[in-house]
Each structure stands twice: as structure tokens, then as C-alpha cells.
Amino acid sequence: MPLTTVRRRTLLALILALGFYALSDILLWQRIFEAHGLSAFDPEYQTGHIAILVGMMAVGAILLLDSGWWALWYQGALYTFAFGGVEDVLYYWLDGRAIPGLLPWLDRSRLIFVRPLAGHVTNIELLASAALWVTLWLSVLALGPGLLRLLVARQLSRA
């Protein structure tokens, strides 16, 4: 299968998985837990939400198995998008709401690299972190094969 087809298929799988992961967050958390005052069950919700993510990572990797290393790219990108701010941005975008000014529940996230010196994560820092991850993973998608060919060519020229 041509490399461009593999990369397109992998990117499409990532977009669909992330979109449905954010949609499940909206439907379960907001429409059920928040609407019915079930915040006391947040730990159970978070466990289930992570199980959904792990399942999406596993199914995606199996379906992309013939794509080689791109199956790992899919898993890495989906995980970091889910916990690095991209899913949070998508959550509010899909729901048609503005991102709140302060996001204290993200203070513990180790993948939100753009952090305040003091206080809670803000919407600006969330957007900056999401932009960082999107830029990083799309750069690997776009530039990775060319860089790999260059490294292999250098190794062959030395031999």
C-alpha cells in the first residue's frame, strides 16, 4: 500500500477515534453525570472513560497493524491528544460552548506542558498545549518518512 494512503488512513482513524472519544465524554459526563448531580461518581466515570480510550487504541492498532509503525503513531497521537488538551478543546467545540477561563481539573495532567507558574490551567494554556501536540504529531506524520529515508541513505552511503 502506498505510504500516502497509509498515512491518510492512519490520520482518518485518529480523527474518528478522537471525535467519538470527545463525543462520549459529552454524552456521558455532561448529559448524564452533570445533569443528574452524579459528580460523586467521578472516579468511576474516569475509569470507564480511560477504558474507552484504551479500547479505541487497541482496536485502531489492530486495524492498522498492516501499516507498520503508523499503528504506533496512531496510539501515541491518540493518547497524547486525549490527555494533552486536544480532546478538551474538541469537547467544548463539539458542544458549541466556549472553553472556561479556568480549568482546575487539568492541573494534574502531565501532558499539559504549557503551564501556569501559579494557579490553575487557563483556556489559553490549554489551547497552547493542544497546538503543541497537534504540531508535533502532524510534523512526524508529514516529515517522518522523509527523515527516515535520509537517515537510511546516510547509513548506506557509509557502508
Domain ranges of the chain: 3-158
CA dist 19 and 6 (Å) reads: 20
Q: Which residues contact 126 (CB under 8 A, 6 or more apart)?
A: 85, 88, 89, 99, 103, 106, 112
Query: Looking at residue 118, what is its pLDDT?
Result: 77
Of residues 56, 57, 29, the one with CA closest to residue 43: 29
pLDDT at 53: 97
Give me the pLDDT at residue 159, please.
67
Tens of pLDDT along the chain (159 residues) come to 676 789 999 999 999 999 999 999 999 988 898 889 888 998 999 999 999 999 999 999 999 999 989 999 999 999 999 999 999 999 999 999 999 999 999 998 889 987 777 789 999 999 999 999 999 999 999 988 777 777 767 777 776
CB 141 within 8 A of CB 80: no
Contact 102/120 with Cβ under 8 angstroms?
yes
With contact defined as beta carbons under 8 Å apart, do 140 and 130 qualify?
Answer: no
pTM: 0.89
> 109 by DSSP, 3-state: which?
coil
CA distance 14 to 45: 23
The DSSP 8-state label assigned to residue 66 in this structure reads G
Can you give the pLDDT at residue 1? 64
Please count the other Cβ atoms lying within 10 Å of the Cβ belonging to residue 109: 17
Q: Say how far apart CA 80 and CA 97 lie, in whole Å.
A: 23
pLDDT score recorded for residue 133: 97
